[in-house]
A and B are shown apart, each in its own frame.
Chain A
Amino acid sequence: ILNVEQSPQSLHVQEGDSTNFTCSFPSSNFYALHWYRWETAKSPEALFVMTLNGDEKKKGRISATLNTKEGYSYLYIKGSQPEDSATYLCALLGSARQLTFGSGTQLTVLP
């Protein structure tokens, strides 16, 4: 069973602030790491699929890094906007292509 932890559990930032949160895992026995964005009353939407060995991805103001050696992935949001408010989920992809999710970081961006 894959183990994945996310921190912090929740976060409030002001509009325009940059922020980041962490996904950590004790073992690198997985195939890929996924980040999802989950808005209230909607379904999770894929942000990034991180392959192993120091991958970095960027989409607009959001970027992610993966360090399998140290056992963490960071998600960064530059210049947060109210529409960035959501829960951000990290998930590890196992050998049968099944996902194991962390409990998420709930981000609130205050105008």
Chain B
Amino acid sequence: NAGVTQTPKFQVLKTGQSMTLQCAQDMNHEYMSWYRQDPGMGLRLIHYSVGAGITDQGEVPNGYNVSRSTTEDFPLRLLSAAPSQTSVYFCASDSDGQGYGYTFGSGTRLTVV
């Protein structure tokens, strides 16, 4: 059981480049979320999904797009990378939100130069 798998683990982008951070879970969880972690600011919600075909914006959605075409996958797209998007990104999933808590991926460390 792999849990939540994020790829890549590390990435360096140049300003203006685009890329997709991948997130996949094999637990048949309905709920999936993307967070970014910045020093002194904790985990901030970027986008979330309550099921295939349904996504919504979190606290800091600007500059990011998501889609949820399948239950398993929830990719995060950076449209035109900016230095302010340098951060550690975590994907997480849960089955019903009130059971055992969210399961987090191992994170993607992104640097935009």
0 or 1 for each of A38-60: is its CB under 8 Å from B? (1 = yes): 00001111111101000000000
A100, CB-defined interface residue at 8 Å? yes
State how many angstroms separate the Cβ of A32 from the closest Cβ of chain B. 5
Q: How many residues of A contact B (CB 8 A)?
A: 26
* C-alpha spacing A89/B92, complex, angstroms: 15
Q: Is A34's CB under 8 angstroms from B101's CB?
A: yes
Chain A residues with CB below 8 A from B56, complex form: 96, 98
**Interface CB pairs A-B, < 8 A, 21:** A34-B101, A34-B102, A42-B106, A43-B106, A44-B43, A44-B104, A49-B100, A49-B101, A51-B98, A89-B42, A91-B43, A93-B98, A96-B50, A97-B48, A98-B31, A98-B48, A99-B102, A100-B45, A100-B59, A101-B43, A101-B44
B105, CB-defined interface residue at 8 Å? yes
Chain A residues with CB below 8 A from B94, complex form: 97
B53, CB-defined interface residue at 8 Å? no
A7, CB-defined interface residue at 8 Å? no
* C-alpha spacing A1/B98, complex, angstroms: 19
Q: Is A103's CB under 8 angstroms from B40's CB?
A: yes
Most B CB atoms within 10 A — which of A89, A97, A100? A97
Of the four ranges (under 10, 10 to 19, 20 to 34, 35 or more), the interface on chain B belongs to 20 to 34
State how many angstroms separate the Cβ of B17 from the closest Cβ of chain A. 26
Q: Is B90's CB under 8 angstroms from A49's CB?
A: no
Interface residues of A in 25-44 (CB under 8 A from B): 31-32, 34, 36, 42-44
Q: Is A32's CB under 8 angstroms from B43's CB?
A: no
0 or 1 for each of B94-113: is its CB under 8 Å from A? (1 = yes): 10111111111111000000
Q: Report the nearest B residue to A46, measured CB to CB.
A: B101
B12, CB-defined interface residue at 8 Å? no
Interface residues of A in 80-109 (CB under 8 A from B): 89, 91, 93, 96-104
Q: Is A89's CB under 8 angstroms from B48's CB?
A: no
State how many angstroms separate the Cβ of B38 from the closest Cβ of chain A. 10
